[in-house]
Structures are given as C-alpha cells and as structure tokens.
Structure 1
Amino acid sequence: MFDLNQLNPQQRQAVTHGAGPLLLLAGAGSGKTRVITCRIAHLVQQGTSPEQILAVTFTNKAAREMRERVQEMTGRNAVKGMTISTFHSLGVQILKSHIDRLGFKRNFSIYATSDQLRLVRELLREAGADSSNRDAEQMIWRISAAKNRLIDAGQYQPTLRDPLSHLVATIYPRYQKALKAYNAVDFDDLLLLTVRLLEGQSELLAHYQQRFVYQMVDEYQDTNPVQYQLLKLLAGGHKNLCVVGDDDQSIYAFRGADISNILDFEKDFPGTRIIKLEQNYRSSATILAAANQLIANNRQRRPKTLWTSSPAGYAIDYLRCEDSEDEARQVVELIHAETFRHQRKFSDFAILYRTNTQSRAFEEQLRYDNIPYVLIGGQQFFDRKEIRDLVAYLRTILNPADEVNLLRIINYPKRGIGENSIDQIIRRSAEQNAGIWQLLQQPEQFDGIGQKTLTAIAEFVALIKSYQSTFKNPLRLLDTLRQLLNELKLADEIYRQEKDPQTAQRRIENQNEILNSLGAYIERNERPSLAGFVDAISLLDADPAGKDDKEKLLSGNTVTLMSLHSSKGLEFPVVFLAGMEEGFLPHKKSLDVTCDIDEERRLCYVGITRAEQRLVLLGARQRRKHGKLELREPSRFLAELPQQLLATRQAGVPADDGEEQQEKSANQFFQQMQQLLG
C-alpha cells in the first residue's frame, strides 16, 4: 500500500489521472519511477484488473525492479496478472501466440548474433561478395538499423553515394527469406514482425487493445520508430497511454532514438494531458540553476524548470588545468581533500567524460595513488585489445624471447604468416628445444612453408630488429613510437575488422592515446626509456584498480569512472565532469550540426544533474594528440552557465573565499533571485 499524501501535488495528479493520454515530463531526479509504480498500484486499488495493465521499459533490470516495487504495493497475486516487460519481451509474448499468421511456426527460434553472422556470411559467399566477419557485421548492423526504422526487406532502397547499401539491398531480402525457411527471427524482428502482425490483423489488434486498457512507458524519449509504432497501435483503442520521459535527457540518437516522439506526443494523441514533474529530490539548488540555464539554450525542447527545497549548497568549481595528466592529478587531490575534510567514501565520487579515451589518465593516476575504482561501460584502458596489441609489439621489441607476445603479433596485422605456418614453427621449436625468435631468424630451415611466407617472416624479423635499434635513443621515443604506428598501419586493420566506423574510430583514438601516455611518462622521468615505460604499464596492469584492497572493493567503496552516456539514471554526492573543451564537449563531430550540438548540450545537462552536492568542471589548456601538445579552447557550454554560481580558478589554486564563503555567495544569489521574482 502507499499513501497519496506522500507525493507532491504534480506526482499525485499523475498517479490519479484517469482515462486519456498522459505525458509526464519528468525532469532529472523528480521521482518518475515512483510515480509509475504508484500509478499502477492506484489503478489496481481503483478496480482495474491487473491483466489490463501494460508497463514497458527498456531493460530487463528496470522491468524487474518495477515489478518488485509494484508487488510491494499491491501484493504478489496482482503482479502475476500484469504485463511488466521490455519492448522485446512483449514482442515475444505476442509472436509466440500468433506468428503462424505470418507463415512461421510458433516454436520459432530467436537468432543470436553468432547465428546471424553464420547466415549472413553464407549469403555473402553465395552473392560472390566478401564474406569476412567485418562485412557480415556491417550487413547485420545495416539491416538492424533499417528494421528499427520500419523498413522491410522489400522497401529498402540503396543510395548512389553509399556503395555498401547496394549490397544490403541484395542481402537483406535473402536474409529474411532464409530466416523464414529456418523458422527463425532475429532480435529486431521481435518488434518489426509484431508491428506488421498487428497492422495486418485487425481483429488481433482489437484483442490486444481491449486487453491492455492502460499502458505505461518509461524513458519514452529513447523510443525509436518501430517502438513508437507498436505503442501507437496498442493505444489505439482506449487511448489510455501514459508515457514518462524527459526530452532534455534524450542522448541516444546514435542508437536510433527519435526525440520527436516525445516532442510531438500530443499531436499524435489528441487530448493529451501534460504534467510536469519539476521538483528535484537529488541536487542542490545551485546545481539545478546551472542545469536549467544550460539546457534553456536548446531550441527544440519542452520548457521546464527544475527546482528543489534543498539549500543552495556550494558554488560549482571550474578548474582550468594544464593537460590531461594535470586534470587527473587535480581530481585525485580533490578526492583526497574531500575524504579528509568531509569523511566521504570513495564511492561518493564519480568521474564523467565524453569519450572513453579520456579514462586513461584518470586510471593511471588513481592506480598510482592506490585509490580503488570501477570502470563502467567500457574496458579498463590497458585491457583493450587495440592497446594490448600495440603493447605486445613494444614487449617483443624489448624481449623477443617473450613468446606469448611474439605469437600475438607475428601475423597482426595480417602479413601472410598463416596458422599452419605458425603451428609448424611452434612444433619445430619444441622439437629442437630452440626459441621461436631464434628459429624465425633462420626461416630457410622450415620445410613446407612457401616463399611468400618465408619473405613475410624475414620482413617481420627485420621490423623488430630495426625498432630494437631506433628505440634505444631516449630523445626520440615519441617519434619512434609514432613511426611504428604508421608503419604497422594498425588503424587500417581496425577499420577492416570493425562493422561500425564510429567504433573503429574510437579504437584508433584509444591506440593513439598510448602516445599521450608515453609523453606523460617522459615528463615524469629524468631518464626515460622504452623499457621503463613498458615496466610502468606492467606495474599498472599487475595491480588493476587497487585490487589488493579487497575489503574496499567488496564493500563497493570505489571511485566510479564512466562516460556521460553510461551515467544516465545514476547519482553521486560529488561529480567531476572532465574535458569541458571544444572538441570533447561538445564533441568535434557535432560542431557543424545544430541538432547534434543540442544533443551534446543534453549530454552536458545529464552530467551536471548526476551531482547531488558538489560539481567540479575541469578542462585543459592543452592536450596531447598523437603525442604532440595542442592548445584547447574552453567549452562553449561554460559560458552558458550562470557565472555567479561558477567559481573559476587555476588548477592547484584554492578558492580565495573558501568553502563557507562559496556557500554564502550562492545563497545570496538565490535570495536576490527570489526578490526579483517577487
């Protein structure tokens, strides 16, 4: 059971709303999940049958948590009859009962990615096209994007400027025909086929419209076209569709999310009642004022203003650091100061950034200071494949007898030394009790290995020996590493491997970050060497995230590192928002497109509203790119924040007024604002 009096006025209006479409514009930290669960419980208490309630969200975890909360309020029996699920689980439920109307059997299989790859590779071979994993993954990615935009195989149209689209136009229909022959569907079919089924079967659509009298959807701003169409069909009967979302937190356009779904909701559902949930239960008034003023600069949005009954709190710090390493040092120093001064735990802190490449400097500094951390939404920097591949080259150059790393790179990138040849080399090494490197220097002794492979082996040996010599010059370490990267053409290999150009670019940026790591190492050491650099990496790798401190990790007492995209839905007492510079936030790819700048501003807004008590913004005067320092411009978003609430200072220089004065200044600002508003 729950008490309506425990809700604020807007929450009560949302919970008790009766029939008709309802749009809940739920600002960050406004208790939207509580509102949804209370609304479901209220409907049951008012006599609605649990079987008539449908609640849809995006993840199994969110659906499970919603079910558990509703069960606490209504009891186990009521929850049993409800449909609380993800979009795809709902699709499975409908298709398992009716897919035979589309020519499938009801015991259809759902193909995993590995199944899709095998099928698409076979279709590519039949079409006489490249059937590599990379091309197969490209096909799957393109077909998935089409299905999410409601484009069937027969509707797909290639474009002149996109040669790959012509191959997709050939493979997509064959792929769908093969799936049907195998009585299988893929993950995207679970929604597209459900939509086509309901569109083509009017009596079936009427059945589900009558069954689901009340529908509720969480995170509506993240819906794509096929999800929108499914909801529109199901709500076409009673029109009791309640959607909850925040256009200011729409940050997944790259996944196909369409912000117009929430912006145009009342156009699609006439008679919509709009309720704004603007009271924030998370952040200080200062943080909310900054967030409100920032997001007001977006042109396409629904006006809303977050507010709180909490005190103004501290001013927002902006630290202009020298470079990436200084930025990381400042964050770690502030963590030490906050834990000492305010008895905070490490789990009170989050470091947020726009791109995963930015985590490298923070990971290094946290490890140097033995501060445990957890990396969310990505691998630790030195665990990433592209980094391990490059480091394997450096370790082999230093010690060719290291056969683990030698074998990792002997044919990476591919140079014509195939698996059969490598197996023969390994066998000969065991038979002669000789090292592989020793044998590689005498390739003519291998029987059965062709001349092309022997030439490739000789070139590989020459490459390693050449860099063994050039890396000995400590004054040219950076230039030599840059030369190695260019000669290996690892970037080309990554592009060949990856289906998604954006993923490939991120991996290449990660690899280039090694140059920046080496540059930072050179600055810290009077007598730098390649061996010293690799040793430093090895020491970091041997002690990831302070794993020796098991008690702290087991208790979850770790600093959190994550990208802004991964941070949505989370909150922390202290947030460090790093890389407040043009090119990072907003990201360089968005600088020429207005709608992309709006999404970047929403990302910044999400980052700011993760902070409960303290927000620290950081940027650098210069950063290394491919090992060379480049000047950086502060983010335009800094100028869009209320300057009265921003304590700007140079890194390492404490605020003159101190914390108490900062809090006093912020409170004075809010008193003046209240007087102006009357």
Structure 2
Amino acid sequence: MFDFGNSNNGQKEAISSANGPVLITAGPGTGKTYTLVQRAIYLIEECGVQPENLFIATFTEKAAKELITRITNELARRNITANVNEMYVGTFHSLCLRILKENLEYTRLKKNYRLLDAFDQKYTVFQNIYQFRNIPNVDAVLPDSGAWKQSEAICGYVNNLSEELVLPDDLERDADPAISAMGTILRAYQKLLNDNNLMDFSSIQVETYRLLTEHSEILEELQRKITHLMVDEYQDTNYIQEQLVFLLAGKKKNICVVGDDDQGLYRFRGATIRNILEFPQKFNAGECKVVSLVVNYRSNTDIVDFYNTWMATTEGAKFKFQWGTFRYNKKIVAHTQVKLSSPSVVKLSGVDDEDEWHENILKFIHRLKDSGKLTDYNQIAFLFSSVKHPKVKALADFLEKNQINVYSPRSDMFFERYEVRLTLGCLMLMFPRYVQGLENGDYSTLRPEHITYYRQCIMLANEHLLKPENKSLLRWIRQTGRTHVGLQGTTDYAYSGLLYQLFEYQPFQEMLDTDLNVGVVDIRPSRNLAKLSQIIGKFEYLHRVDTLNGKYININTEKFFNLYIRLLYDGGITEYEDDSEYAPSGCVSFLTIHQSKGMEFPIVVVDSLSNVPRTRNNDLMLQIEARYFKRPAFEPYDQTKYFDFWRLYYTAFSRAQDLLILTCNEDKRTPSNYFREQYGELQSVDGDDFQLTEFDFKPIKDVNLKRKFAFTSNITVYDTCALQYKFYKELEFMPVRANAMLFGTLVHETIEDIHRAAIRHEESEITHENIEKWFDANYSSLSKTEHSYLATQQLEAALKQVIRYADRQHGNWSTIQQAEVDVSLVKPDYIIDGKIDLIKGEGDTVEIVDFKSERKPDLEKSREKLEQYRRQLNIYAYLVEERTGKRVSRMNLYYTGEENGVPVVTFPYTKTAIESTMAAFDDTVQHILKKDFHHCANDEKICKNCDFKYFCRSK
C-alpha cells in the first residue's frame, strides 16, 4: 500500500489519479507542491513509471529547484532507488530549450545562438530601429516618441503575436494599413533574429512548437519517452504552452494540470484563464477527473474567511459584475479552527499625513519586536501593486533610516545605491572630456534628470577623493584621466578593466572583502558591484569594445553613459535575488503582489488600497485578436478589469499565515470604493481588542534548494583559488572578455556534428566535403557570437584536426552511443553536473572520451595537468555508471592536434580512484556550501591573469 502520510482525502485522490486527464484546482495554502511531489512519487513507486518518463513544468526556476529537491528527498526517505536525472523538470522555457538543444539541426537555429533577455531584446530592436521605421504605415502602429519607446512597443507586439502563432503573411494581407504594417513589423523582427542567430523568450516556445509540428519523428520519439505530464500554475499558461502540452501528451492524454483560477495574474504576459477553466472540455464527457483542494494549511480562520468574503461579495449592483462561468465556485476551509479573541485581520492607518503613516508603521513594527512574538524581521512582508512607486520608496527609506532593513530587490534602487553612484562617478572622472561635455550641456540625448544624476555621481566621487586617506585613489584617477585625454594609440584595457583596477582602493576593498555569511544588506554592495561588472561587460560585448583607442575613446564613452547606462537608468534594474533564501534574515520584505505569489509570511501588510480596476486594452491588438488569433476572446472585455483586480488582491490577502494587515494613508480617495466598506469594518492595530500576546508567529520556512556543481566550472575553480570562486561564481562578477577559445570550440563543435551524423545512422554523410560545410557553418555562427576571428592559417589547422580525426576512424562509427552528453546526479546535499564529449562502446561496457584540440603533451612534464584531467574523467565515469548502470571500462583523452603518434591517453578505471575523487569532490562542495572562501592561489601565472589581481595586490 502506498504511504499517503498526512494527505487529506482530496490530496489522496489527486495523488492516486495516475492516468488520463486530471484537473487539480488548488486554493491558496492547500498543499499544491506537496501534492505534486507525492503524485510524482506515486507514479514512480506504485505505477512503475520511470523518472525519465515524467514531464513537470513550473513557472519559475526556483519552483523547479524546489520540486527536484523535494522529490529526491522523498525518494530517499522512502528508500526508493530511482534515477531522477533524466526527468523533465523545469520552467516551460527551460524544458523547451532542452528539446531544442537535443534537436538543434532541425531548427532555424545554428550552434552558438544568443538568447536575449528583455533588455537585450529591446536594445537589439533599438539598434536596428531604422529597419522598422521604414515600413509603410508604421506610424499607425508605433507611438509618436523616441526610438527606445518604439522599440519597447515593437517587442510587446511581436511577443504577443508570436506566442499566439500569428503569421506575418496573414497580417500583411489585411486591408487595414495598420494591421498590414504590424505583419511587416513581425516579419522584419523574425528576419532580425534569423540573420543574427538570436532567440528571445517568446521564440523559445515558438521554435519548439515548429520543431514538434514539422518533424513528426521527433514528436513521436518524445511522446514515446514522456508518458505523464504535470503542469503547475496552469491558470498562468498561454495559448502556445497549452498547444505544447497537448502535443507532447499525444493520444495517451496523461495530463495533470494544477492551479487556482482565482490566482490568474499574468494576462499582461499573454496568459489566459480559459486554459484551466476549459481544460475538462478538451476531452470526452466524464473523461477528465476534477479534484478540488480546499483545505488551507497556511492561514488562520479569520484570514481565510476574509479572502473568501472578498471573492464572494463581488456580484450584484454594487460592483456591477458577476463571475458567472469565469471562476470555479469554491470556498476555502481553514485546516485548524484557531480561536483567538483578538482579530487576525486588522488595519493600520495614517490620516492624510504621510509622516504620520510612516511613524505608525514604525511604531507597530517596534511593538511587534518588543512583544517578543516577532523573532526576525523577515516574518513581515509588505505587498504593493508596485515597489517602484515613490510612496513605496519613501516608506522603505524611512524604515532603513530607522534601522529596519528593507529587502526590495525589484524596487529599481540599483542606481541609487551608494556603491553604484560612487563607482560611476569615479569612472566618469577618468574621462575628463566627457565630464567637460556634461558640465557644458553638450549632450542633447540626456534629459535634466540624467544630467542631475550624473552630476550627483561625480560630486559623490569628488567628496570621497578629497578625503586625506584616499590620496592614492585620487592620484591614480587623475593620472588615468590625463592618459585618456592625450591618448594616441590603444590601451590594453576598456571600461571593465578600469572597474577592476578601482577595486585596489577603498571603499571597494572593504565592500568586496565582506564575508558571504553575513546578512543580505551587508552583501548588497558587493552584489551590486558584480551587477555593474555584468552591465559594463555586456556593453563592451554589444559594441565590440575590447580596448580604449584614441580615435574612438570619446565616442564610445558618450555611447556608454549617454545611451547604454541612460536606457538602463530609465528602465530600472532589479538587484540580486537569492533563490536559496526565502526572505533574508534581519529584513522586512517589500514585494509586489505578483512577486509574492506562491509565498507565505506570518505577517502580511497589504498596501496599494487606492487602486481601482483599470482597462488596459490596445484597440489595434483587439482587432488582430478578433481576426487572427486561433480562438475568440474568452472573458468579456468590459469585465476583465474586475476579474483581474479581484484575483490580484485575493492573491495578496491569502499570503498571510497568522496576521493580515491592510494599511493606507487615509484620504478622500484612499481606500478606494472597492475596499472602503471592508476596510472600515476592520479593527485598528491600536484597538483594545487587538492583543499581540495571543499570537505565536511562525518562522519563515526553510527553502533548502539543491545547487548544481560541476568539476571544471566549480571544483577546479575553487581548488585553484577560493577567493576567485567567491567573486566569479558566488557574486557573479563578469570576467573581462579575453580572446575567445575559438580554435578549440570550433574543433569540438565540428566533431560533434560528425558524431551526431553517426548517431542518426547517417555515416555516409561523414565526408570531407560535408565536414568542411559543418566547419564553415560553425565558424560563421561562432565568430558572429564571439565577435572574434581566426587567421586563415589557424582555420586551416583546425579543419585539418577534424578531418584527421574522421579519417582515423576508417568509417567505423558503430560504437558511438552518445555525444555532448549532459549528465547529472542528485546527491543528498547537491547535484553533480557534467558534460561528456563522447560515450562509446558495445553491450553493457562503455568508454568515455574527452577531446583536446592540441598536441599530445609530454606525459612526464604534464603530470599535474593530466592528473586534473584524470579526476575529471573519474567524475564522468561515476556519473555514467550511476545514471545508466553500464560499466565504464576505459577513460580516454583524445588529442586532435597529434599528427603522427597515438592521439589517445588512456586511464584505467579503478573503483578506489573513483571513490577517492568523489570524496574530494564532496569535501570541496561542503566548503563551498559553508561559504569558506579564504584560501588564495599560490601560482603567479593564475594571479597575473586574474581580474582581481588589483584587489589582492593591495591586501
């Protein structure tokens, strides 16, 4: 009998409904993740489903990591041995990327494609805006504004149209000039992606859909492999995601979708509530099992009753809308009837005075702390419709000035942080001509707020530099500025290089020297400096700036500050969010309601009570939707604003575990009519009936997500220099771009093409002519991505290595089993990751091969390097045996640069050596998990080539 543990009846039914379509409607706090985990275990333990046959889609990487962690922990608890490494678990985007990577040759994409994030996408369009502005009738589509705003509009349109699978041909044939222009915009955008081997987040799913619909053999293979699908947060899926789910499920129809229609918040991203509401109708009558989870384990009775009432009092004359068929009728029930004489839903007000409101909030937080009931500030979360609003930022500033730290990574405070302003100011001072232009008002692209901000940065830097203890930094900046003013030739650095040189001086030294075991507020300066290194590095990549040249130094500096940084400043930058921490200790959280979805806090303070339902429709897109979307509109346009408004605040109210507080600074418009009646009925936190002594606030839950570690990118880096690991891997500083390892990558990629042909049983295609075609295609995409090139002599040498490798096989490719194999293994505390170039062999015995695009070294002189390679191969051998059950007989290094001798170095497989390597691997991981980053490299060569040599030199 399956052990259902403490599952309630609804959860048991959901867990054991193994086959056919299943809809699980899961209200807030009803154990949705628990049920998903147990259902996966049930399929493995009771139904004999192999983990690699499971497909589980979530909406955030954090949720995916949590599922993997909890599934593997539960399997271990039950003493079930199962290989979960091949399980399809992730976000829709990550799962689609996996499918695309496994079948890249069947797509429009070439190797080394670049994935655009939201800013990259807009910036790419911005850089090519002339292509769009030349489209006939484009003025009827784009806003009458600057290029950046137009780029934002274009990206919004193409993302929406792409995910609804609207074709440019159809739009271009429309008689309406605006719709026809929209079709040409979509075509031009798609051409831009194709020509530059780019992919945005929308096209990840579109490319996967095309792959599956245009290549039936690939779809059939996936349908054979994936027998059961589970989709979390199904109310937030869009049209193309629904199509992908049903394609992959095929005739088996083993689709289990989980969600809460009352928490559908992502219409603005193309999500449609119809997917969850219409799911049962996708099948024959009675075929889909519907299970409702309504027992809430999160909130106390008062809170559950409050948000039940919120959803139930929407109909009738007062608000003029009805849910009708646009919601599953449900009533959430608290698991435990908590009997407190004190109310658990209260209000905290100011009266037409923001200062008073601030003081009242501060007073209440102090009261919570003084009562002894609050053990950590992280038990409090403030929820807003936006954390970027000036009112919200003012409250955060007030609390921080009164020694209450605020964690609000999405408040776009990045450019306001001291360390960012100081760094930008110091960088500007190194370019005196730029500063002079700023003072003279020479830059027409800068608005007054930009000029004010840059001047504030410069003033802050000057204040710092004029302190006696900073003489050496002042001297260096002045000298560097003089060098740049008189620059005739070329430097050996660019803007990134200057940033890393700054780290030799205070206060940057102190910021970077912070122990990573301290609180998030203390680490924030070093995190923000790392973010700045990424911003500067991305600029240098996009604009191909590797050094500073006398001819272009002024142009590039203006482009950096007046274009790139300006656009980022206008758009706002989120600060670092740590998946491993639910809510950082010592901080109250300021979150958007959207951001808080799926989270829970003992004390939740909901603000933004002045809001009212707003219509956000675009007339042109409504016309396109009516004519060209694959299905008609679902919810009535005149009521969607009400639906979205109620769902948003239902989500907010249901985050609270023990205490829900509605807060506002009361005036004529606040709270709005939509909250006024219920708000007015609430007792105040200052009321006699509200007694904090009755509450026992729960601690914040432990996340405990398993991290991934690979030998080359983690263990080797840490063993070489733990300090370097701290900066590059933990804080995520971007290294200064060195010349890409084009030669080796080009050889590897073309050998991979050979192996893929062999795996497809197309050995006849492995000819010199085809190898050269593959080689040229790889070089074209690689050089375009890396902005780097090889000399003719190097290209010829690389091609010779590949052809020599192919010739040495004498047409015998039969032993090849897998190439470029991503392998991973879940351990109790972490996940081991690796990528194996080649697995070959026959029967139950295999060999693993790692390719090196160089001459075979002297085995005696290179003992240390070969020992490192042997340890790496030991890890790969361990992963292969654990993952496949096949015995590894030999581990090989293949040197493609070896012309005459034997190109292979073979290491024997010995169990004791594997165990020893794994023990050392585990020991290193434990040091990393403890954030022990104190030892440094002892090798001068390593230090000489490290960006942090300036930081270490002063220490």
Alignment partner, residue 97 of structure 1: 102
Work out the CA distance in 1 between the residues paired with 2:220 and 2:100: 16
Residue 70 of structure 2 is aligned to residue 79 of structure 1: no
Alignment partner, residue 333 of structure 2: 307
1:641 Cα offset (Å)? 4.6
Residue 645 of structure 2 is aligned to residue 600 of structure 1: yes
- Aligned amino acid, residue 138 of structure 1: A
Alignment partner, residue 224 of structure 1: 238
Output the TM-score relative to the length of structure 2: 0.48
Work out the CA distance in 1 between the residues paired with 2:283 and 2:370: 54
What percent identity do the matched residue pairs reach?
29
Alignment partner, residue 211 of structure 1: 225
Structure 2 CA distance for partners of 1:566 and 1:185, relative to 1, 3 Å:
closer
Aligned mate of 2:406, from 343, 355, 373: 373
SS of corresponding position for 2:334: coil
1:410 Cα offset (Å)? 6.5
- Aligned amino acid, residue 350 of structure 1: A
- Aligned amino acid, residue 569 of structure 1: G
Work out the CA distance in 2 between the residues paired with 1:124 and 1:661: 62
Work out the CA distance in 2 between the residues paired with 1:102 and 1:382: 40
Check whether the contact 1:377–1:566 (CA below 8 A) recurs between aligned residues.
no
Residue 347 of structure 2 is aligned to residue 318 of structure 1: yes
Check whether the contact 1:192–1:226 (CA below 8 A) recurs between aligned residues.
yes
Q: Select the structure with the greater relative contact order (CA < 8 A; seq sep ≥ 6).
A: 1
Alignment partner, residue 464 of structure 1: none
Aligned mate of 1:202, from 203, 211, 216: 216
Structure 2 CA distance for partners of 1:633 and 1:662, relative to 1, 3 Å:
farther
1:160 Cα offset (Å)? 9.2
Structure 2 CA distance for partners of 1:381 and 1:11, relative to 1, 3 Å:
same
Could you list the per-position Cα deviations for residues 284-320 of structure 1 after superposition, in whole angstroms to 9, with x for gaps in the alignment?
1000001111122361211121112320444221244
1:138 Cα offset (Å)? 3.1
Alignment partner, residue 339 of structure 1: 369
Check whether the contact 1:26–1:244 (CA below 8 A) recurs between aligned residues.
yes
Paired residues for 1:441-520 under 5 Å: none
Structure 2 CA distance for partners of 1:112 and 1:558, relative to 1, 3 Å:
closer
Alignment partner, residue 58 of structure 1: 59
Residue 410 of structure 2 is aligned to residue 363 of structure 1: no
Work out the CA distance in 2 between the residues paired with 1:237 and 1:63: 26
Alignment partner, residue 354 of structure 1: 385
Work out the CA distance in 2 between the residues paired with 1:192 and 1:124: 23
Structure 2 CA distance for partners of 1:381 and 1:360, relative to 1, 3 Å:
farther
- The worse-fitting range, judged by mean Cα deviation, of 631-640 and 320-329 is 631-640
Alignment partner, residue 22 of structure 1: 22
Work out the CA distance in 1 between the residues paired with 2:5 and 2:23: 22
Structure 2 CA distance for partners of 1:74 and 1:2, relative to 1, 3 Å:
farther
Alignment partner, residue 758 of structure 2: none
Could you list the per-position Cα deviations for residues 72-101 of structure 1 after superposition, in whole angstroms to 9, with x for gaps in the alignment?
123574211311122112212222333434
1:135 Cα offset (Å)? 3.2
Could you list the per-position Cα deviations for residues 367-387 of structure 1 after superposition, in whole angstroms to 9, with x for gaps in the alignment?
3322111114222398299xx
SS of corresponding position for 1:80: coil
Residue 31 of structure 2 is aligned to residue 31 of structure 1: yes
Work out the CA distance in 1 between the residues paired with 2:118 and 2:384: 30
Could you list the per-position Cα deviations for residues 350-379 of structure 1 after superposition, in whole angstroms to 9, with x for gaps in the alignment?
111223313123113213322111114222
SS of corresponding position for 2:93: helix
Check whether the contact 1:71–1:78 (CA below 8 A) recurs between aligned residues.
no
1:53 Cα offset (Å)? 0.8
Alignment partner, residue 471 of structure 1: none
SS of corresponding position for 1:4: coil
Check whether the contact 1:248–1:605 (CA below 8 A) recurs between aligned residues.
yes
Residue 293 of structure 2 is aligned to residue 292 of structure 1: no
Check whether the contact 2:614–2:641 (CA below 8 A) recurs between aligned residues.
no
Work out the CA distance in 1 between the residues paired with 2:61 and 2:292: 27
1:134 Cα offset (Å)? 4.1
Paired residues for 1:258-657 under 5 Å: 258-270=272-284, 271-296=287-312, 297=314, 299=323, 300-310=326-336, 311-313=338-340, 314-315=342-343, 316-323=345-352, 324-344=354-374, 345-356=376-387, 357=389, 358-380=391-413, 383=416, 407=439, 411=443, 414=446, 556-581=585-610, 584-586=611-613, 593-622=638-667, 631-638=668-675, 641=678, 646-649=681-684, 654-657=686-689
Structure 2 CA distance for partners of 1:573 and 1:111, relative to 1, 3 Å:
closer
- Aligned amino acid, residue 331 of structure 1: I
SS of corresponding position for 1:38: helix
Could you list the per-position Cα deviations for residues 629-671 of structure 1 after superposition, in whole angstroms to 9, with x for gaps in the alignment?
xx3143344367598xx4344xxx82133428999xxxxxxxx
Check whether the contact 2:99–2:208 (CA below 8 A) recurs between aligned residues.
yes
1:585 Cα offset (Å)? 5.0
- Aligned amino acid, residue 647 of structure 1: L
Alignment partner, residue 247 of structure 1: 261
Structure 2 CA distance for partners of 1:568 and 1:376, relative to 1, 3 Å:
farther
Could you list the per-position Cα deviations for residues 9-38 of structure 1 after superposition, in whole angstroms to 9, with x for gaps in the alignment?
111111111211111111111111111111
Check whether the contact 1:21–1:239 (CA below 8 A) recurs between aligned residues.
yes
Residue 190 of structure 2 is aligned to residue 176 of structure 1: yes
Alignment partner, residue 440 of structure 1: none
In structure 2, stretches of 5+ residues that fail to align are 135-144, 315-321, 426-434, 459-561, 576-581, 618-636, 696-955
1:349 Cα offset (Å)? 1.1
Structure 2 CA distance for partners of 1:407 and 1:312, relative to 1, 3 Å:
farther
Work out the CA distance in 1 between the residues paired with 2:583 and 2:31: 29
Check whether the contact 2:583–2:589 (CA below 8 A) recurs between aligned residues.
no
1:178 Cα offset (Å)? 4.4
SS of corresponding position for 1:92: helix
Could you list the per-position Cα deviations for residues 602-642 of structure 1 after superposition, in whole angstroms to 9, with x for gaps in the alignment?
111111111111111123333xxxxxxxx314334436759
Alignment partner, residue 163 of structure 2: 148
- Aligned amino acid, residue 401 of structure 2: Y
Work out the CA distance in 2 between the residues paired with 1:160 and 1:327: 56
Work out the CA distance in 2 between the residues paired with 1:599 and 1:224: 16
Structure 2 CA distance for partners of 1:117 and 1:349, relative to 1, 3 Å:
closer
Work out the CA distance in 1 between the residues paired with 2:447 and 2:396: 34
Count of aligned residue pairs for this structure pair: 510
SS of corresponding position for 1:95: helix
SS of corresponding position for 1:317: strand
RMSD: 4.1
Structure 2 CA distance for partners of 1:656 and 1:67, relative to 1, 3 Å:
closer
Work out the CA distance in 2 between the residues paired with 1:104 and 1:615: 50
Work out the CA distance in 1 between the residues paired with 2:214 and 2:666: 60
Structure 2 CA distance for partners of 1:209 and 1:348, relative to 1, 3 Å:
same
Work out the CA distance in 2 between the residues paired with 1:156 and 1:185: 22
